[in-house]
Amino acid sequence: MRLHHVQVACPPGGEDDARRFYADGLGMTEVEKPADLRGRGGAWFRSYDADRAVVAEIHVGVEDPFAPARKAHPAFVLDTVADLEATAERLVAAGHEVDWSQRTTFAGHQRFHTFDTHGNRVEVLAPA
């Protein structure tokens, strides 16, 4: 069994804000939704490895009424602590808060938590 994707929610009209976080902030690639699902709104993002295999996928779906996920969250693994720090810097430069308070609380990893533009919690980690 493998995980195909994780879905988080955004309010109606929140797709551009999601793009700024997941594409511009985290560096993921937006992919086109299947034709049958486009009418629902939302946006899909993927991350690829060096061989162009999909290694992470997140779907941002429109939810009305909207409530952000403040505890439940996706966790994205980067290759190195340098990648982790660069991603944190990119997020901060884009106006997102990065919380390093639990940086060393997960054995074998360093990590930070942040919230996407809509208030959904996101964890980003790398092997220590």
Question: Can you give the pLDDT of all 128 residues of the chain as single tens digits?
Answer: 999 999 999 999 999 999 999 999 999 999 999 999 999 999 999 999 999 999 999 999 999 999 999 999 999 999 999 999 999 999 999 999 999 999 999 999 999 999 999 999 999 999 99
Q: Is 93 helix (H, G, I), strand (E, B) or coil?
A: helix
Q: Where are the domains of the chain?
A: 6-127
b/e sequence 43-63, b meaning 16+ C-beta within 10 Å: bbbbbeeeeeeeebbbbbbbb
* 6-127 CATH pick, 3.10.560.10, 3.40.228.10, 3.40.50.1950, 3.10.180.10: 3.10.180.10
pTM, two decimal places: 0.94
pLDDT at site 45: 98
